[in-house]
Amino acid sequence: IGDARSGAFLAEGTGSKKGTAGYPLRQAVEAQVLERFAPPHVLVNGDGDVVYYSARTGRYLEAPQGIPSRQVLTLARRGLRLDLRAALREAAATRRTVVRENVVVDEDDEPVQSIKLTVEPLAELGKREQLYLVLFEPFGPAQARS
């Protein structure tokens, strides 16, 4: 452990003499923060195909039996599909962020979870096509099945 007076906590010779690497370090830190604190999310194109998955989407999306699909509406769990379809259509028509609260996600043998569903158009990212960020945020405690 380093010198208590300098505030260093690493042994000498383990730190960088030139400062940080800048951009790569920033990317690594931002990725860590996003993975830990950002809500589960997917990036969807105008055809409804998922083009990017974040961590922890399994509670909201599930691969169907049979032929693989990237269609977000096919992947959406019971209770989520209708609200997701309506929110995607509204976001596409208005080009504005759409928020649906108290959307109930029904996962087999798990407590029922209400979520806040957000669909946000991301025009600046889709150079060739419109993209939509879909966020799944837990909304209140999960409820036991009755």
Chunked mean pLDDT (size 10), the chain, 146 residues: 56 54 82 86 96 94 92 94 98 97 84 93 78 93 68
Are 46 and 122 contacting, i.e. CB atoms less than 8 angstroms apart?
no
Closest CA to 88 of 58, 138, 41, 133: 133
Contacts of 131 (CB under 8 A, 6+ apart): 43, 44, 45, 46, 51, 121, 122, 123, 125
DSSP tag of 144:
-
- Determine contact, residues 107/113, Cβ cutoff 8 Å: yes
The whole-number pLDDT of residue 140 equals 74
Strands (E), 25-146: 41-45, 50-53, 98-105, 113-121, 131-138
Quote the pLDDT of residue 145.
61
pLDDT number for residue 16: 54
Q: What is the largest CA-CA distance in the chain?
A: 64
User: What domains can be seen in the chain, in order of their start residue?
Assistant: 40-138 (3.30.450.20)
* pTM (predicted TM-score): 0.76
